[in-house]
Amino acid sequence: MRRWVRAGIAAMGAVGALASAADTLPPAVEQALARARVPASALAVSVADAAPGGRVLLVHRADVPVNPASVMKLVTTTAALDLLGPAYTWRTAVYADGPVRDGVLAGSLYLRGDGDPKLVTERLWLLLRRVQALGIRHIAGDIVLDRSAFALPPHDPAAFDGEPLRPYNAAPDALLINFRAQVLTFVPDEGARVARVGLEPPLAEVAVPDTVPLGDGPCNDWRAALQADWSDPRRPRFAGRYPLACGERVWPIAHPEPDRLAARAVAGVWAQLGGGLGGRVRDGTVPPGLAPRLLFDSVPLADVVRDVNKFSNNVMAQHLLLTLARAPGLASAGAATAVPPAPATFEAARTVVRDWWMARLGADVPPPVVDNGAGLSREARVTATALVRLLQWVYASPWMPELMASLPVAGVDGTLRRSTMGRGLAHLKTGSLADVQALAGYVHLPDGRRRVLVAIVNHPEARAARPALDVLVQWAAGQP
């Protein structure tokens, strides 16, 4: 039996060890919580040696289901690495329903999305360049976007927190372009006393001002200083000024008409490449019987996992979860040429994760309530014990290097870039909502050994408790 399977079974013995571990919080952690005015009863903690079945140093409310915020991404990314493998890719398939003569496609072009989580502007540009390499310079018909790989309910981007233009509220899309976000760039031209404004991706029908006046004073809240007006999604306006002190800045913002972004981006990039279009860009499905003219592979899953965990990308995490519902039909390299699998749903994906959890970690610890797989949820729940078991299991699995490398490094990168807990002290996934603060991952000891740590605060003042979690990490790294 493989070492990592044996290790997974050995981890089941950790439950008994949890019962005998210390359940009194370290004094420094209690003091930090008191300063934050957060009671100890709001904190769930488990700290143990990284090896499955290893010594447990601390448990505190570890078996109480809590909201983990983005720490839930550890479940989604680990399941994806195990079920799909780090080299897995998504394939956007290109079809045409007519012949190509003298650079003209006498028909329509079809782009069928496979759920690629990272079809960003530059990769869309490369995809359409490859279409042109097929000899297609002008499309007499339409460009048809087939998004049928996902079957999802209507999504209100304002429903979670009333912030519909925040990119983290974007919904999944089988043909997800640039995370459904537009990126504005501001470059000061001091001589002209303006900031030059750019837009990526180029969006058909959308025109942003070429410039905005420069202002004096500190950078501070420069977005508010612009006094942006998004009431007309195709004609945004800036009534304010851009502070010269800010230098060059970028502003990612969810497109105000999210369902139109893919069509506008495809039309905009196609036109920028000099492509002609007799019809329009619209939604539809690929007619039966057509064979793909081109298969465009995504970046590998390991790269996606890194983006999900380093930068806590919500929509990418949801794409990973939904892909698990289609995994059985995507096992072969030629799957894109066959009849596509059934459209993915969150319900089906959650079933896959639950079955995987039971097979890998056993039934002695209840599986998490995954919801959308990203942690941007009020319903998601997991225990600290369950996450420790997951981190111990993956530590002994073949996927440990990919998973650990995907986690933010304290004081170095990702969502822990500004952390002061100790540079390089830990690889940890962060989680943050209005009433949640969480850390989970691996803490490095001076002798080269590692420990797993899970710490989650659920409380209206959770944000103030973040220093207490940092102290806990330092305590875990300092215990003999």
What class is the 27-86+320-330+340-478 domain? alpha beta
Tell me the pLDDT of the chain (480 aa) as tens digits: 344 444 443 444 444 444 445 678 999 999 999 999 999 999 999 999 999 989 999 999 999 999 999 999 999 999 999 999 999 999 999 999 999 999 999 999 999 999 999 999 999 999 999 999 999 999 999 999 999 999 999 999 999 999 999 999 999 999 999 999 999 999 999 999 999 999 999 999 999 999 999 999 999 999 999 999 999 999 999 999 999 999 999 999 999 999 999 999 999 999 999 999 999 999 999 999 999 999 999 999 999 999 999 999 999 999 999 999 987 544 333 334 445 688 999 999 999 999 999 999 999 989 999 999 999 999 999 999 999 999 999 999 999 999 999 999 999 999 999 999 999 999 999 999 999 999 999 999 999 999 999 999 999 999 999 999 999 999 999 976
Task: Report the predicted TM-score, pTM, of the whole model to 2 decimal places.
Answer: 0.92
Start and end residues for every CATH 3.40.710.10 domain found in the chain? 27-86+320-330+340-478
Rounded to 5 degrees, what are φ and ψ at 452?
-100, 145
Residue 262 and residue 284 in contact, taking contact as beta carbons nearer than 8 Å? no
**Measured between alpha carbons, how far is 326 from 338 in angstroms, rounded to an integer?**
13
**Measured between alpha carbons, how far is 366 from 358 in angstroms, rounded to an integer?**
9
Buried/exposed code over 343-380 (b: 16+ C-beta within 10 A; e: otherwise): bbbbeebbebbeebbeebbeeebebbbbbbbbbbbeeb
Q: What is the CATH number of domain 91-155+260-293?
A: 3.50.80.20
